[in-house]
Amino acid sequence: MTPTPLATARDPFEVIAAPGGVELHLQRTDKYKSVLLLWVVEAPLDERRAARALLPDLLTRGTARSPGLAAMAARCEELYAMDLLAEVSAHGRLQLLRFGFEAVADRYSGGRPLFMEAADLLAEVLHEPPLPGGRLRADFLEQERTNLVHAIAAMADDKALYSYRRLVETMHAGTPFALHPWGTVEQAAALDEPAVRAAWDEVRDELPVRLMIVGDVSREQALDACARLLAGTRHAPHAPAQLAPALPERPLRHVREVQPLAQSKLVMGFRVQPELLPGAAAPLFGLVFGGDSHSRLFKRVREAESLAYGCSAGVSIESATAVVQAGVDAVNAPRTQELVLDELRRLAEHGVREDELALSRRAQLRRLDNLKDSPRAACAFRLGALMSGRPHVLEEARERVQRVTPEQVAAVAAGCEADTVFLLEGKLP
Amino acid sequence: MKLTPVPNALGETILAGTAGSGLRVFVNPRPRYAHTFAAFGPNFGSVDRVASANGQPIPEGLAHFLEHKLFEDSAGDVSDRFAALGASTNAMTGFCGTTYIVSTIEQPGACLDLLLDFVQDPWFTEALVAKEQGIIAQEIRMYDDDPDWRVFFGLMGCLYEKHPARDNIAGTVESIAEIDAATLRRCYDLFYHPRNMVLAVSGALSPDDVAAIVEADQSGRPADALPPHERSLTDEPRTRRAPRFELALPVARPRLLLGIKETVLGGDGLTVSRRELATRILLDILFGPSSAAFEELYADGLIDETFGVSHAAEASFGFSTLGGDTDDPERLQARLLEVFERARQQGLDRAAFARIRNKILGGLLRSLDSPETVASALLSDAFRGVPPFAALDLVEAITLEDLSRRLAEHVREDAIAAAIVRPTP
């Protein structure tokens, strides 16, 4: 991406190559009563991901000046309920660490510089944890490690999420796409101070960073906040976006697990030919197939046959896959699978109707236009697009959606191959 | 219909009016926003199991069933027509209300018109009811596997003996099997009438356009002869029904949800809102992230980031909940109760009270950035009968002494119950 310094009618963000290697994206607007700031660190999804995943909770647990949860929360409350953000997620091959805040705009604080006070608190979080004896606090580290182990294990409590994860781990085994950004229970349980310290060093002073700010903030304030968040550190440039890999051709695999549940979860994974992913045809295929209430699967599996409360489909551009999910009675899983495969075949062989493509196009355009009213959603879209090498300017993304033809959507359907079916079979004792 | 400005403590532009039919309308214009969000619905939720108009019993799960069924009329699936207008639509049923929403950028006027039409022009056939029974049964089974849902309704079953708040909002597979088209029609007529409904619009659509669309819609409908639905107090005992509920599910760790049944009931909307806010502030002071108790329990490994507290208040029922994942539910329960006892003996932290008030002010200001949040708040405030954003004035009027009184009257041993979900052996 070539940085463009000024916002335009097409792109409300200014992009500034800030000191320290930080790429600053600033949308200056007084439309909102709050200001959003996100400090986004990009790391590879590798064996060190659990150590990095510990950092958001560990660093927001306390700073040298406010060394404890209560002191940290009290400072946020004093800053008019500043929302301190710290989370870990994945995007394709990348692990993302987002630190940031949402705070009431300065014009509502009676002259108090809330934005800078909030930036100072975030800078403390990033750079000034309590370091008794020059080491991260042992009690904090031990507890957050235990909490991370619990959080990873508790993902299995959400049966839809668990089933989705089992499918993804099976489909992408041996690649970064199979990895959860929190790491495994074993990796988390094995974390020690040197490993977490090394992850902290890497996050604060090495890995690529994007800073995104939306709100009533001047360019000077934004750069000042950036300098405080950098605290003299320097970050590497962003790696270019990578194309999605092709999964190997192989026979359809069935994986089944039984648990004492009232409802079974059927998850079907499809390989999508990577050359079909550029452009906007793949997301529109997802909407036609199972992404909205007008979609084929919603109409047939839910409305026509009453087999499920929800039956949805989505395409992952980053991993070149499509996934269908449904909650059904175990006895109806084969019929649901049959319907899904039949609708995919019909889309590939007979194409998409103009009316259903029009509905999907409007739904996709509405989703894009809604970003204009939501700072968090606008930043998430922009970040995702930048990392995937897709248009990050809303208007360009809209134009791509407008250009999609029925033939292109049918081609995506024809380029989908069933790869893996995971059934979490519910069987009550 | 004339829309007039409603003064409010946040200085937000809010206009309100009442159509000739009796339908109340609230508009929050936002000319700089691209989209418009509208929320429309009746003051009718899952706890309404007797119609105040004629005393008729309402089957369990009916409000939720109606919510599902209105999306299909004689012309087919209503969602398709919203999609053709470039809009998205949804609905939700709660204890005390049903809300139908639409969010759109294109053609907001046509979307509002369609919203008013589909909610007020139902279409019930036995075939469509039978189809929906299968879909809702799957929704119920989905909730049956949700540990948070199960622990919550397990707790409600401990707190309440007779009040319908103890029942699952969607009903049971058995209760919905008994619902037919005639029952839906009968209940629809009792609750879905203009004087029992509210429309709230926030976003790009102008107040003049909203008024014109509502007027055109309502003028073509028969005059509303029914009064708004009123919830009366039940003969529910003041004490909890049972002290404990336990269930085994395939989960990684146990979870505890401690509940406190509200025993101070009744009063007008402002009274209920004041009670609700005071209790929330009290719980935030005692157990919120900045409290000493939260820090101690976290440091002792008894709670983690899943821990939370909440309070819900209505005139006819109310409850507080505290809990989350924990390895030792019994020990956590004992420690939570100790915190209440300590507060009774030592009093409440005045500095924390000031901070929590700041927090509420900041949260209210930030919530104004979301048309969805504003329209939903306007709707629930109207159902409760309080002015928009009354919370701000109410919070400023609450004193530390009010909170101490709340602690004494709300937290009583015989009103407390615990629900626990443990991992399947």
pLDDT digits (tens, 9 = 90+) for A171-190: 999 999 999 999 999 999 99
Q: What is the dihedral of CA A370, A375, A381, A383, to 10 degrees?
A: 170
Q: What is the mean pLDDT of residues A403-422?
A: 97
pTM over 0.90: yes
Label residue B224 by pLDDT band (50, 70, 90): confident
Residue in A69, A77, A263 closest to B358 by CB: A77
Place of tokens 């839910």: A302
- Interface list for A 325-384 with B (CB within 8 A): 327-329, 358-359, 362-363, 365-366, 369-370, 372-375
Tens of pLDDT, residue by residue over A375-396, are: 999 999 999 999 998 999 999 9
Residue in A32, A147, A366 closest to B105 by CB: A366
Q: What is the mean pLDDT of residues B276-295?
A: 97
Label residue B114 by pLDDT band (50, 70, 90): very high
Q: How far is B276 from chain A (nearest CA, A)?
A: 20
Tens of pLDDT, residue by residue over B16-61, are: 999 999 999 999 999 999 999 999 999 999 999 988 778 888 999 9
Label residue B169 by pLDDT band (50, 70, 90): very high
Taking the C-alpha atoms of residue A312 and residue A330, their distance in angstroms, rounded to an integer, is 18
A260 to chain B: which residues are within 8 Å by CB? 249-250, 424
Q: How far is B277 from chain A (nearest CA, A)?
A: 16
Which residue of chain B is at minimal alpha-carbon distance from A62? B295
Interface test with B, best of A106, A309, A369 (most B CBs within 10 A): A309
Would you say residue B266 has pLDDT above 70?
A: yes
- pLDDT value at position A10? 85
Interface test with B, best of A158, A293, A299 (most B CBs within 10 A): A293
Would you say residue B220 has pLDDT above 90?
A: no
Taking the C-alpha atoms of residue B379 and residue B385, their distance in angstroms, rounded to an integer, is 10
Q: How far is B274 from chain A (nearest CA, A)?
A: 21
Taking the C-alpha atoms of residue A130 and residue A137, their distance in angstroms, rounded to an integer, is 6
Would you say residue A3 has pLDDT above 70?
A: no
CA-based diameter of chain B, in Å?
A: 65
Q: How far is B327 from chain A (nearest CA, A)?
A: 10
What is the DSSP secondary-structure string of B190-251?
Answer: HH-SGGGEEEEEEESS-HHHHHHHHHHHHHTSPPP-SPPP-PPPP---SS-S-SEEEEEES-
- pLDDT value at position B10? 86
In 3D space, the residue among A150, A276, A198 whose CA is nearest the CA of residue B252 turns out to be: A150
A80 Rama class: left (phi>0) / alpha (psi -120 to 50) / beta? left
Which residue of chain A is at minimal alpha-carbon distance from B303? A147
Q: What is the mean pLDDT of residues B88-94?
A: 96
Q: What is the mean pLDDT of residues A102-116?
A: 94
Residue A90 CB contacts under 8 Å (≥ 6 apart), including other chains: A45, A96, A179, A180, A181
- Interface list for A 143-182 with B (CB within 8 A): 143, 146-147, 150-151, 153-154, 156-157, 159
B22 Rama class: left (phi>0) / alpha (psi -120 to 50) / beta? left
Tens of pLDDT, residue by residue over A189-231, are: 999 999 999 999 999 999 999 999 999 999 999 999 999 999 9
Q: What is the mean pLDDT of residues B249-259?
A: 97
Place of tokens 């009550």: A428
In 3D space, the residue among A140, A133, A120, A143 whose CA is nearest the CA of residue A67 turns out to be: A140
Both tokens of A402, joined, read 């407008």
Residue B338 CB contacts under 8 Å (≥ 6 apart), including other chains: none
Determine whether B276 is an active site residue.
no
Say if the Cβ atoms of A157 and B251 lie within 8 Å. yes
Pairing state between β A321-328 and B24-29: unpaired
Both tokens of B140, joined, read 């119920």
- Write the DSSP symbol of residue B47: T
Say if A70 is an interface residue toward chain B (CB within 8 Å). Answer: yes
Calculate helix-pair angle for B371-384, B350-367, nearest 10 degrees: 110
Would you say residue B392 has pLDDT above 50?
A: yes
Say if the Cβ atoms of B366 and A34 lie within 8 Å. yes
User: For chain A, what is the mean pLDDT?
Assistant: 95
Say if the Cβ atoms of B294 and A69 lie within 8 Å. yes
Taking the C-alpha atoms of residue A299 and residue A289, their distance in angstroms, rounded to an integer, is 10
Would you say residue A9 has pLDDT above 80?
A: no
Interface test with A, best of B249, B280, B290, B303 (most A CBs within 10 A): B290
Q: Which of B67, B236, B262, B276 is catalytic?
A: B67
Label residue A1 by pLDDT band (50, 70, 90): very low
Beta bridge partners of A17: A23
Domains in chain A, CATH or no CATH each:
2-230 (3.30.830.10), 253-426 (3.30.830.10)
Q: What is the mean pLDDT of residues B367-377?
A: 95
Which residue of chain B is at minimal alpha-carbon distance from A299? B77
- pLDDT value at position A5? 58
Q: What is the mean pLDDT of residues A394-415?
A: 96
Say if the Cβ atoms of A80 and B304 lie within 8 Å. no
Would you say residue B213 has pLDDT above 50?
A: yes
- pLDDT value at position A2? 42
Tens of pLDDT, residue by residue over A333-383, are: 999 999 999 999 999 999 999 999 999 999 999 999 999 999 999 999 999
Taking a C-beta distance cutoff of 8 angstroms, is the pair A178, A319 a contact? Answer: no
Calculate helix-pair angle for A219-230, A114-127, nearest 10 degrees: 20
Say if the Cβ atoms of B83 and A363 lie within 8 Å. yes
Residue B375: count of CB within 10 angstroms of its CB = 25
- Which residue blocks in A289-353 are alpha helix, DSSP H? 296-297, 333-350
Tens of pLDDT, residue by residue over A44-56, are: 999 999 999 999 9
- pLDDT value at position B425? 85
Taking a C-beta distance cutoff of 8 angstroms, is the pair A159, A260 a contact? Answer: no
- pLDDT value at position A8? 79
In 3D space, the residue among B196, B33, B202, B169 whose CA is nearest the CA of residue B102 turns out to be: B202
Burial track A343-356 (b if 16+ CB lie within 10 A, e otherwise) = bbeebbeebbeeeb
Share of chain A above pLDDT 70, in %: 99
Say if the Cβ atoms of B368 and A73 lie within 8 Å. no
Taking a C-beta distance cutoff of 8 angstroms, is the pair A94, A387 a contact? Answer: yes
Pairing state between β B24-29 and B98-104: unpaired
- Which residue blocks in B220-349 are alpha helix, DSSP H? 269-287, 292-299, 329-346
A108 to chain B: which residues are within 8 Å by CB? 365
Residue A54 CB contacts under 8 Å (≥ 6 apart), including other chains: A141, A144, A145, A148, A188, A191, A196, A199
